[in-house]
Amino acid sequence: MTKPRLYFFSIAVFIVLFLTLGSNSVSAQGLVPCGTRTNPTACTVCDLFVLLQKIINFLTITATSLATLALVYIGLLFLLSGGSSKRITEAKEKLWLVLWGIFWIFGSWLVLNTIINFVADPSVFPWKVWNQVDCRVSQQPFVVDQAIPVPEPILPESAMSETEARNRFQQAGIVVNKSACPVGVAFYNVSGGCTSLNGVTATTLIGAAQLKNDCQCSLTITGGTEQGHAQGTLSHANGDKLDFRPNAALDGYIEKNFISLKSRSDGAKQYQAPSGSVYAREGDHWDVTFRQ
């Protein structure tokens, strides 16, 4: 058998093997990872990434095989050129085109892989390697971190210190507008004002936290247990009342969800919550009496 015929025979065998193995690989695994006759499991979002991964892998293998065939063909052109400078030049041009194609295919993948590995947050890909999708990893159930501290429960009738009350309100996402007042000094005698929380009852704290949770709005305390408020059985001094800074969300929630009561003697509109707490709209704040 002459060299050209041997070369043609080798190429034919290579093509047959490539087509046979390639078709068997695709038919055995399939590109679609779910919802098929061979794999009837329900599809998830993760399966979309699996599909993309399989498409990329298939195209990469196909491109590699075609590039190999092209190189074999170009080698044949060199072999059959018969020393013709024109045919050799044409073969060289085709060779450069194939090499540039290989460079762009694998160069693009290399650039993408480098960018993702060095720039992207690895936690975005729960299967650790971005191009090796494992749905069993990505679908692991969420586990609560047992180390997260949980505030200890408090009894409704208990009163809190200044520090404890501020910490509790902070945990509830409630802001206190000013620092505590000096002991025995009324808020109006302090330059710039002050807000104390020493002696606030747990009932008041629980009620404020519930209000914050229900209205999903910002809460800012502008008045607490500091001296200078009116006295009474349920009063600021006894830790039963708080003043809140008004805002559109808070105002709307109170006026829409609570029962409107008769206005107070000073003209302040009053609203009653299902818990019995009373909200009075004074000039620049909500005066709230919390009840269990």
What's the pLDDT score for residue 148? 42
Asked if the structure places residue 259 within a domain, the reply is yes
CB 237, CB 227: distance < 8 Å: yes
- 28 and 125 part of one domain: yes
Residue 258, C-beta contacts closer than 8 angstroms, at least 6 positions apart: 271, 272, 273, 274, 279
- 198 and 132 part of one domain: no
- 168 and 226 part of one domain: yes
Last residue of a domain, one of 80, 106, 138: 138
Asked if the structure places residue 281 within a domain, the reply is yes
Asked if the structure places residue 60 within a domain, the reply is yes
Asked if the structure places residue 151 within a domain, the reply is no
Q: Which domain holds residue 62?
A: 3-138
- 109 and 186 part of one domain: no
What's the pLDDT score for residue 136? 52
Asked if the structure places residue 154 within a domain, the reply is no
What's the pLDDT score for residue 112? 73
Residue 174, Cβ density class (10 Å: 0-12 exposed, 13-18 middle, ≥19 buried): buried
- 247 and 134 part of one domain: no
- 167 and 243 part of one domain: yes
Phi, psi torsion values for 116, nearest 5 degrees: -65, -40
* Helix (H) or strand (E) run with residue 89 in it: helix 85-119
- Tally of CB atoms within 10 A around 109: 13
Residue 85, Cβ density class (10 Å: 0-12 exposed, 13-18 middle, ≥19 buried): exposed
- 95 and 17 part of one domain: yes
Asked if the structure places residue 143 within a domain, the reply is no
Last residue of a domain, one of 138, 170, 204: 138
- 214 and 182 part of one domain: yes
- 172 and 245 part of one domain: yes
Separation between Cα atoms, residue 240 and residue 291, nearest integer Å: 8
- 169 and 223 part of one domain: yes
What's the pLDDT score for residue 158? 73
Q: What is the number of domains present in the chain?
A: 2
- 73 and 178 part of one domain: no
- 133 and 208 part of one domain: no
Asked if the structure places residue 275 within a domain, the reply is yes
Instruction: Kindly give the parts of the chain with pLDDT less than 50.
Output: 1, 6, 21-28, 127, 137-156
Phi-psi domain of 171 (left: phi exceeds 0; alpha: psi -120 through 50; beta: other): alpha
